[in-house]
């Protein structure tokens, strides 16, 4: 197994198409047919984040169709070791049957509910209690606020700190110190804390970083 560049995937696909659209893979013995590819219209319907859209026009995307353990497999049957765990969101691997069963059971019982106006779901309360049990001693009497992503979590922290200082009678206390070249996310507040110009939009007028952010050297 090896990490392949998108360019090599693109070349392999074009060679397959020229050969009649059939490729015998050595990983699982699948037969790939070009007719199984998404249509150009469907493939163009996704706006990919953190992607140079101009450059992407000339290179076919890496389309992943399944995962098992530490590996993911593309539409041609090629397998990759996913060293970043799907941007750190699949630390327990792909195809983990325990997770599959837990998710299926919860989807049948109560697939979703929000937490606004103190709505509670038992499994969420159980998870919060389990996290607090494992937290450092000084945090065990606290509460858990669940979010959707790391960027969302950092945005929430910024708002909580601003609200806290406002409640203390110090609404002017809004500045944050962040490290140059540090990464904290890509949303408005988290993207501002990130010390990478391309995350800020790379041009005047993008609005990032927010004026409350001050950067220091990470060296």
Domains of the chain by start residue, with CATH: 6-88 (3.90.1150.10), 118-146 (no CATH), 150-216 (no CATH)
123-144: pLDDT as tens digits:
999 999 999 999 999 999 999 9
pLDDT given for residue 201 in this prediction: 82
- Over its C-alpha atoms, the chain yields an Rg (Å, rounded) of 23
- Checking if the pLDDT of 76 tops 70, the result is yes
pLDDT given for residue 219 in this prediction: 67
Q: How many CB atoms lie within 10 A of CB 22?
A: 12
**Interacting residues of 12 by C-beta distance below 8 A, sequence separation 6+:** 23, 76, 78
- Checking if the pLDDT of 150 tops 70, the result is yes
- Checking if the pLDDT of 3 tops 70, the result is no
9-52: pLDDT as tens digits:
444 444 444 444 434 343 333 334 333 455 455 666 888 888 88
How many angstroms separate the CA atoms of 52 and 184, rounded? Answer: 20
DSSP class of residue 168 equals T
- Checking if the pLDDT of 115 tops 80, the result is yes
Confidence of residue 207 (pLDDT cuts 50, 70, 90): confident
**Assigned token pair, 198:** 């391309």
**Assigned token pair, 170:** 């110090």
84-98, 121-135, 150-164, 193-207: least confident range: 193-207
pLDDT given for residue 51 in this prediction: 86
Question: What percentage of residues in the chain have a pLDDT greater than 90?
Answer: 65
Name the nearest CA neighbour of 60 among 48, 77, 72: 48
Say whether pTM exceeds 0.75: no
How many angstroms separate the CA atoms of 13 and 62, rounded? Answer: 11
How many angstroms separate the CA atoms of 100 and 44, rounded? Answer: 30
């Amino acid at each position: 197994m090896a990490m392949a560049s998108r360019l090599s995937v693109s070349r392999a696909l074009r060679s397959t198409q020229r050969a009649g659209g059939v490729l015998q893979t050595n990983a699982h013995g699948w037969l790939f047919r070009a007719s199984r590819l998404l249509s150009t219209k469907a493939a163009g319907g996704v706006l990919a984040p953190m992607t140079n859209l101009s450059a992407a026009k000339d290179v076919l995307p890496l389309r992943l169709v399944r995962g098992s353990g530490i590996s993911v497999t593309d539409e041609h049957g090629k397998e990759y070791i996913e060293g970043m765990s799907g941007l750190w969101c699949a630390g327990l691997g792909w195809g983990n049957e325990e997770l599959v069963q837990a998710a299926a059971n919860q989807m049948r019982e109560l697939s979703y509910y929000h937490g606004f106006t103190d709505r509670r779901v038992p499994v969420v309360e159980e998870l919060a209690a389990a996290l607090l049990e494992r937290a450092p001693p000084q945090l065990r009497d606290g509460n858990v606020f669940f979010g959707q992503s790391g960027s969302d979590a950092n945005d929430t922290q910024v708002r909580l700190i601003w609200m806290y200082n406002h409640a203390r009678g110090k609404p002017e206390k809004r500045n944050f110190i962040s490290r140059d070249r540090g990464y904290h996310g890509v949303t408005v507040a988290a993207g501002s804390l990130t010390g990478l110009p391309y995350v800020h939009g790379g041009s005047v007028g993008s609005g990032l970083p927010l004026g409350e952010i001050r950067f220091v050297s990470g060296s």
